[in-house]
A = this chain, B = another copy of it.
Amino acid sequence: MSTLPDFSDADRLLPAVAQDVDTGQVRMLAYMNRAAWEQTLATGEATYFSRSRGKLWKKGEQSGHVQRVREIYVDCDGDTILLKVEQVGGAACHKGYQSCFFRQWDGKEFQSVGRRVFDPQQVYDSST
């Protein structure tokens, strides 16, 4: 088994940056444990570990907006992952934006600058 990324402890969480393979837009950052990493490799679709829910989370499992992984990189320290992905549905953010980084600093505060692709209320079942 590869020693990269450094999942020396299976529960260790490493940040994974998802970048659009075509446009270079940084879509989101989430975390992987070893199981998420192995599932991502096995399926070719990004799986993360949800810190809030405490379990594996296949991106798009609810919205259908999966991330097809085209390229995978690891950084010099072996503790950060970079995925170049094709974002199905055009939006990575659960709030309906192309990118989770839809707020930009204007020198005093953050302003929303992102483009909304979908209405979250129409995508996520509010009863779950």
User: Contacts of A17 on B, CB cut-off 8 Å?
Assistant: 17, 26, 29
User: Contacts of A4 on B, CB cut-off 8 Å?
Assistant: 103, 109-110
Task: Knowing A24-B24, A26-B26, A29-B80 are in contact, say whether A100-B72 is a contact too (CB < 8 A).
Answer: no
Task: Knowing A17-B29, A29-B75, A75-B29 are in contact, say whether A2-B109 is a contact too (CB < 8 A).
Answer: yes
A104 an interface residue at 8 Å Cβ cutoff? yes
Contact call B80/A97, Cβ cutoff below 8 A: no
Mask of A49-85 contacts with B, CB within 8 angstroms, 1/0: 0000000000000000000000111111100101000
Contact call A73/B24, Cβ cutoff below 8 A: no
Q: How far is the CB of A44 from chain B (nearest CB, A)?
A: 11
A24: nearest residue on chain B (CB-CB)?
A: B24
Binding site for B on A (CB under 8 A): 2, 4, 15, 17, 19, 23-26, 28-29, 41, 71-77, 80, 82, 93-95, 97, 100-105, 109-110
